[in-house]
């Protein structure tokens, strides 16, 4: 028997993630993803969305626990898995790997979290000030501390909104 062919997709989580545990304590989660592939319409010279494809995804062990904590409906994800069944107009997928798409959002990991001050709202555009020399950081980073470049980027005025994205969220420019 040939090994299963990996299936890669990008889609939007369309249900809550349900997590359960087997009798032996193994975590398993299930969630739905809808992928909407695009195709080029040569006559209209534009991209068109094809019919949405529903997936029922199942993940196991640590991936199941992490997916349960990380995913909510509406999040775009990138999935690598194996098709296990096609039934009731849905493709059933056993998930091998899963990630949040950064096309529409920023994602932080436990070791790359910025300081809480980074999330503070900005009342008005600050007047650019010359950057004060900061004390050198230690070469090693502790979990939970922002990376060394974080303070440099924040002091160089990168949080000034320059334009607006198509969805209305502000774009930020690094100078």
Q: Quick one: 16 and 93 in the same domain?
A: yes
User: Would you say residue 125 lies in a domain?
Assistant: no
Decide if 118 is inside a domain. no
Number of domains, the chain: 2
pLDDT of residue 91: 93
- Which residues, 6+ apart, have CB-to-CB distance to 131 below 8 Å? 155, 156
Domain membership flag for residue 37? yes
CA 102/CA 149 separation, integer angstroms:
19
pLDDT digit string, tens, across residues 55-112? 999 999 999 999 999 899 999 999 999 999 999 999 999 999 999 998 888 777 777 7
The CATH number linked to 70 is 2.40.50.140
> Which residues are paired to 86 by β-bridges?
91
Q: For residue 132, what pLDDT band results from cuts at 50, 70 and 90?
A: low
Q: Are residues 96 and 173 in the same domain?
A: no
Per-residue confidence (pLDDT) for residue 107, from 0 to 100: 77
Residues spanned by the domain of 24: 6-100
pLDDT digits 0-9 by tens, 41-67: 999 999 999 999 999 999 999 999 999
Does the pLDDT value for residue 160 go beyond 60?
Answer: no
């Amino acid at each position: 028997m040939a090994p299963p062919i990996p299936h890669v997709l990008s889609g939007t989580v369309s249900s809550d993630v349900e997590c359960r545990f087997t009798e032996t304590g193994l975590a398993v989660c299930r969630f739905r993803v809808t992928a909407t592939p695009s195709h080029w319409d040569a006559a209209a010279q534009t991209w068109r969305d094809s019919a949405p494809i529903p997936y029922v995804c199942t993940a196991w062990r640590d991936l199941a626990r992490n997916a349960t904590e990380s995913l909510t409906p509406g999040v775009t994800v990138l999935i690598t898995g194996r098709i296990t069944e096609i039934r009731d107009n849905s493709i059933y997928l056993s998930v091998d790997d899963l990630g949040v798409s950064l096309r529409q959002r920023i994602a932080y990991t436990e070791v790359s979290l910025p300081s809480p001050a980074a999330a503070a709202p900005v009342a008005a555009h600050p007047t650019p000030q010359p950057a004060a020399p900061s004390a050198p950081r230690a070469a090693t980073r502790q979990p939970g501390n922002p990376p060394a470049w974080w303070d440099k980027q924040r002091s160089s005025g990168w949080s000034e909104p320059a334009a607006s994205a198509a969805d209305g969220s502000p774009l930020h420019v690094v100078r």
